[in-house]
């Protein structure tokens, strides 16, 4: 396993101007190529942590560093992060192709020059035949696939996913879980995945970081020591999966008792 540290958070804290302590003393080293889930009750700071990693929010205390990544003069990783949100956030008036082209377009890449990359991204998520479709013509799962294609068209090193499948039905979610794992292995990404689901975190990740609220903090760090690819039915009935679910459930339960997140 790769043990190079891609991202290091050292005792980071975030207090919003209204006084809410969204994160306190959060430390986390994320290894290159790992799949880390942030699991926790509502309000424990999962999204805040993800936004800070994406450079979308400032730290109040602590530090964040990228020991192995190339960085710009402000210390931000250079074009290597993509973000996938719970809502696909597609442009409804634009075709699937144009939606996926957007991140490249924002970097000044013309449509013709972007064509190969967009087509490759669509193929990776199984939507090569839908380039000319509009979002209204797609199912919820397909819209999320477009959102993932848009995230991977820039070939990111780190993929940040904020409850990407939470709004989908169980079957679609399970299929997208498998497709995500397949892509993760193929693309050699590092993934930080926010979820409320113990089962999803245990199925997907090699590490589950459990957080508690008020103040948002890390309360458990659970390794899911099983190789990939994970055969869905076999892995879900394995002791490793069951133990990971039990440990994560217990930690989550304790986290919920320790916070007044109701």
Ligand X SMILES: Nc1ncnc2c1ncn2[C@@H]1O[C@H](COP(=O)(O)OP(=O)(O)OP(=O)(O)O)[C@@H](O)[C@H]1O
Q: Does 44 bind ligand X (CB under 6 A)?
A: yes
Stretch that binds ligand X, among 42-50, 67-75, 102-110, 145-153 (CB under 6 A): 42-50
Are the C-beta atoms of 160 and 54 separated by less than 8 Å? yes
Q: Does 24 bind ligand X (CB under 6 A)?
A: no
Site for ligand X in 199-218 (CB under 6 A): 216
Q: Does 20 bind ligand X (CB under 6 A)?
A: yes
Nearest approach, Cβ of residue 186 and ligand X (Å):
29
* Beta-carbon contacts of residue 247 (< 8 Å; ≥ 6 apart): 208, 220, 222
Q: Does 195 bind ligand X (CB under 6 A)?
A: no
CA distance 100 to 150: 4
Stretch that binds ligand X, among 17-25, 58-66, 131-139, 173-181 (CB under 6 A): 17-25
Task: Among 22, 138, 146, 220, indicate the residue that binds ligand X (CB under 6 A).
Answer: 22
Task: Examine residue 182 and say whether the peptide bond preceding it is cis (omega within 30 degrees of 0).
Answer: no
Task: Among 24, 34, 37, 47, indicate the residue that binds ligand X (CB under 6 A).
Answer: 47
Nearest approach, Cβ of residue 13 and ligand X (Å):
12
Task: Among 13, 40, 88, 156, indicate the residue that binds ligand X (CB under 6 A).
Answer: 40
Q: Does 16 bind ligand X (CB under 6 A)?
A: yes
Stretch that binds ligand X, among 43-51, 68-76, 136-144, 251-259 (CB under 6 A): 43-51
- SS3 letters for 26-78? EEEEEECCCEEEEECCCCCCHHHHHHHHCCCCCCCEEEEECCCCCECCCCCEC
SS3 content of the chain, % helix, strand, coil (to 5): 40, 25, 35
Nearest approach, Cβ of residue 43 and ligand X (Å):
4
Q: Between 39 and 153, name the residue whose CB sits nearer to ligand X.
A: 39
* Beta-carbon contacts of residue 74 (< 8 Å; ≥ 6 apart): none
CA distances for 198 relative to 15, 89, 209, 248, angstroms:
27, 25, 11, 6
Binding site for ligand X (CB under 6 A): 16, 18, 20, 22, 40, 42-48, 216
């Amino acid at each position: 396993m790769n043990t190079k540290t891609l991202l290091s958070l050292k005792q980071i804290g975030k207090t919003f101007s209204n006084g809410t302590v969204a994160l306190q003393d959060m430390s986390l080293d994320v290894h290159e190529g790992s799949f880390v889930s942030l699991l926790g009750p509502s309000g424990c700071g999962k999204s805040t942590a993800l936004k800070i990693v994406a450079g979308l929010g400032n730290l109040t205390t602590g530090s964040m560093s990228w020991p192995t990544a190339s960085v710009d003069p402000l210390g931000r990783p250079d074009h290597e992060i993509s973000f996938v949100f719970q809502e696909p956030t597609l442009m409804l008036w634009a075709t699937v192709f144009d939606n996926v082209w957007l991140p490249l377009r924002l970097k000044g890449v013309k449509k013709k020059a972007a064509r190969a990359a967009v087509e490759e991204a669509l193929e990776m998520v199984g939507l090569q035949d839908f380039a000319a479709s509009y979002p209204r013509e797609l199912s919820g799962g397909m819209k999320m696939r477009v959102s993932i294609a848009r995230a991977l068209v820039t070939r990111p090193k780190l993929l940040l996913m904020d409850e990407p499948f939470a709004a989908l039905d169980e079957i679609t979610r399970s299929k997208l879980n498998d497709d995500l794992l397949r892509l993760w292995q193929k693309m050699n990404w590092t993934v930080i995945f926010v979820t409320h689901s113990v089962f999803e975190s245990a199925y997907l990740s090699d590490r589950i970081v459990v957080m508690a609220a008020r103040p948002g903090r890390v309360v458990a760090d659970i390794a899911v020591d099983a190789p990939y690819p994970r055969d869905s039915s076999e892995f879900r009935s394995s002791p490793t999966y069951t133990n990971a679910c039990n440990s994560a459930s217990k930690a989550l339960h304790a986290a919920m008792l320790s916070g007044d997140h109701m």
